[in-house]
Amino acid sequence: AQSVTQLDSQVPVFEEAPVELRCNYSSSVSVYLFWYVQYPNQGLQLLLKYLSGSTLVKGINGFEAEFNKSQTSFHLRKPSVHISDTAEYFCAVSVWTGTYKYIFGTGTRLKVLA
Amino acid sequence: EAGVAQSPRYKIIEKRQSVAFWCNPISGHATLYWYQQILGQGPKLLIQFQNNGVVDDSQLPKDRFSAERLKGVDSTLKIQPAKLEDSAVYLCASSLDEAGGLKTQYFGPGTRLLVL
């Protein structure tokens, strides 16, 4: 069975510092990988996605993620965070089960401190 | 391009009452999803439609939840009767078929339900 693990439930970081949000997945078949951001009282917004090709994927708002097949990871990074990056971040995988099914992690709450 | 629309944004009801949520997907998106997001958790798929047909409803509690997408465009999710544990945010998403069958999902703002 497929699963997504986000080990860090909360990550506090000072403004302008770098951040990494970790995501590991488990799957016996090929997956597509996504990161979504959810601001308070809003729906999920797509940050970036990995389909194939280059393992380093750049997304919106200065975020990027690197796919590592051997470690089954897809960590999200940003070199310098802003207060406005405070939000919940969800990693998700999409796997083929007769149709493409999404499985979400439990989320990481990023808190950017002034 | 207009995004996924949902209404109402907030709803408070008492247990055993009924409630309905509405979703209008992005124009041209054939696939529509309803998710339940309990506080502190990731979204859980309740039901997936392809046009007006159900593709996956394996995690829908069918004794109390129902959903329809009669004309293959907008959709309604109903809970009858509601229980305390149904308190959650209900997210609607839609997607367009991409190369290889992948569907990138775009989410609406959600409906926050509180059952008292």
Per the document, the length of chain B is: 116
What's the alpha-carbon Rg for chain A, to the nearest Å? Answer: 14
User: In a structure prediction context, what are the per-residue pLDDT tens digits for chain A, which is 114 residues long?
Assistant: 778 999 999 999 999 999 999 999 998 777 889 999 999 888 899 999 998 888 899 999 999 999 998 999 999 999 999 999 999 999 999 887 777 788 999 999 999 999
Instruction: Test B42 with A105 for CB contact under 8 angstroms.
Output: yes
Cα(A63)–Cα(A47) distance, integer angstroms: 7
A contact test, residue of B51, B107, B113 with most A CBs within 10 A: B107
Whole-number Cα distances in Å, B69 to A8, A94, B37, B55, B78: 37, 23, 21, 12, 12
Touching check for B64 and chain A: CB below 8 Å?
no
Give the count of beta carbons closer than 10 Å to the beta carbon of residue B84: 10
Per-residue confidence (pLDDT) for residue A1, from 0 to 100: 74
Instruction: Test B109 with A46 for CB contact under 8 angstroms.
Output: no
Taking Cα atoms as reference points, which of B7, B30, B35 lies closest to residue B19? B7
A contact test, residue of B9, B24, B37 with most A CBs within 10 A: B37
